[in-house]
Amino acid sequence: MTDNATHHLALTAEDNAVLSPMLTDLAKRYDTVEDSELARRAPVLARALPVHLLEFLEEFRIGEPAALCVISGLAVDEAQLGPTPTHWRDSQFDSPAFPQEIFFLLCASVLGDVFGWGTQQDGRIMHDVLPIRGHENYEIGSNSLQPLSWHTEDAFHPCRGDYVALMCLKNPDEVATIVCTVPDLDLTNVDVDALFEPEFTVMPDNSHQPQNARESTGDAGVDALRARSFRLIELWNSNPDKRALFFGDRSSPYLSLDPYHMDPTGWPQRSQRAFAALVAEIEAKMTSVVLRPGDCVFIDNFRAVHGRKSFTPRYDGSDRWLKRLNITRNIRGSRAWRTAPDSRIIH
């Protein structure tokens, strides 16, 4: 089913009856979703997914029928999940959601190659999105009392993903993810030509700042690449490159922006006006999506911006808990940032 906003597939009981044994079996063969062999084999393993699911994902990838793709109804036993971790550092091994993580990884691998950032969550590929004590009012995905401002994922970076994907394990207070897609926009309210001009700047977001990373990975080569990345991030903070906010087809543009990390001071007047009008149009057309346990959403990072409303964290083990993946259709585009052709970590 597809409407303007969402390409949606609801998994049936029959689908789950096929998926459960397959995922349980795969979960026995690996220790963690961070096993590089699992990510490497994922595109091959994904071929065992139900054919109608593969066709559904392929249609989203190549036809762009919508900017959001939702697969709902994956079986999740919340009692078996146990408490929501208090920090993403505590979630990697013995994951109670490992079969669901594998499902999420396989679906993502139909759309492209999953990858991680050396500067984010200690270089993991699958991230946890959960409230962290002390981050409540900081502009980062682990905040809570403060809303997460809407943005293109990793808008500042030339290697940003084509998709950012979320899988919901728990969301007891029905905290809304907010989304606005290009098809929602009335482009007559926007100066499209100005937004295609390379007159704008976007600075790195807080999740990539050195203070949110551990000091050493224990690998000198990786540490050297990371040190270079952090120097670049400092440079992009102080002197960001000029770039366009729109690209691609002028009648239905791709976009990339992160207003919380943008400073219009010094831009041409027309660019400043175009940016303000685009922000206003996006905010007028913003919609809420409540993810429920077992929902996977694949957000087209070229055609949608996303954020999250504020909420009161519980810190009692029952907090909202999502998994997140970044997906690229051009892994070789980041080769200068990775240690090997089959490395999935951009440093």
Q: Which residues bind Fe ion (CB under 5 A)?
A: 153
Of 101 and 153, nearer to Fe ion (C-beta) is: 153
For residue 131, give both structure tokens. 């409230």
Shortest spacing between CB 306 and Fe ion, in angstroms: 6
Return the H-helix or E-strand segment holding 166: strand 163-170
CB 2, CB 10: distance < 8 Å:
no
Task: For residue 38, give every residue at least 6 positions away whose Cβ sits within 8 Å of its Cβ, in sequence order, or none.
Answer: 26, 30, 102, 105
Shortest spacing between CB 66 and Fe ion, in angstroms: 19
Amino acid at 320: R
Of 153 and 319, nearer to Fe ion (C-beta) is: 153
For residue 307, give both structure tokens. 């954020």
Shortest spacing between CB 153 and Fe ion, in angstroms: 5
Query: How many other C-beta atoms lie within 10 A of the C-beta of residue 79?
Result: 7
The Cα–Cα gap between 74 and 72 comes to 6
β 254-255/345-346 pair status: unpaired
Shortest spacing between CB 207 and Fe ion, in angstroms: 8
The Cα–Cα gap between 213 and 47 comes to 35
The Cα–Cα gap between 119 and 209 comes to 7
State the residue number with the nearest CB to Fe ion: 153
Of 153 and 191, nearer to Fe ion (C-beta) is: 153
Shortest spacing between CB 43 and Fe ion, in angstroms: 24
Of 184 and 199, nearer to Fe ion (C-beta) is: 184
Of 257 and 274, nearer to Fe ion (C-beta) is: 257
Shortest spacing between CB 226 and Fe ion, in angstroms: 21
Amino acid at 347: H
Shortest spacing between CB 151 and Fe ion, in angstroms: 6
Of 153 and 281, nearer to Fe ion (C-beta) is: 153
H-type alpha helices, the chain:
13-29, 36-45, 51-63, 78-81, 98-111, 192-195, 220-238, 269-284
Of 56 and 321, nearer to Fe ion (C-beta) is: 321
